[in-house]
Amino acid sequence: MPSKPIARPAKPVSITEGFNKIKALINRTPTYNGNGNGDGFLSLADYRDGGIFLAHYAGNSEWERHSKGDEMVMVVDGETTLILLHNGEEIGHPMSQGMLLVVPQNMWHRFESPQLVKIMTITPQPTDHSVKKPS
């Protein structure tokens, strides 16, 4: 049986060039993720039902979860603590350059990053967000 044709040709993308396009977002808070002008975040490439994203910031994120699949998080530079909410308990996972964590589907999570960090994620969509700790 012949295989399906590829819808679009694959092409390499540069993570380094992607980070060069981002202005570091200082003082990220759960209610402030930048002004949408290239500060802090970049959509690097489409991937399945979501995308590959880059982030460069210092501060704390809101809670988020992904109902359609697991999310891969990799620290490219710097350090962060990725906090997973498991049975109502916040479990912190300190992560530094080169570390990877797969956040299970539907698990609420957030980041605490006192210093600048560069993160790459492979994130399914949609993403649910909550400023307050989910119950």
Convert the pLDDT of each residue in 54-82 to its tens digit: 999 999 999 999 999 999 999 999 999 99
Q: How far apart are CA 64 and CA 71, in angstroms?
A: 11
Amino acid found at 4: K
Q: Give the pLDDT score at 38.
A: 73
Amino acid at 27: N
Q: What gap in Å lies between CA 41 and CA 35, rounded to an integer? A: 10
What is the full DSSP assignment across 77-106? ESEEEEEEEETTEEEEEEEETT-EEEEPTT
Average pLDDT for 18-24: 95
Average pLDDT score over the chain: 93
Give whole-number Cα distances, 9 to 5, 6, 43, 53, in Å. 10, 7, 19, 20
Q: Which of 61, 45, 64 is nearest to 122 (CA)?
A: 45
pLDDT at 11 over 80: yes
Do you know the residue count of the chain?
135
pLDDT band at 89; cut points 50, 70, 90: very high
Torsion angle, alpha carbons of 58, 64, 68, 69, to 10: 50
Q: What is the DSSP letter of 50?
A: E
pLDDT value, residue 45: 94
Residue 3 pLDDT exceeds 80: no
Share of the chain above pLDDT 90, in %: 85
The number of C-alpha atoms within 13 Å of 27 and in the hemisphere containing its C-beta is 1
Task: Tell me the per-residue pLDDT of 31-62, one tens digit each, with 9 for 90 and over.
Answer: 987 766 678 999 999 999 999 999 999 999 99
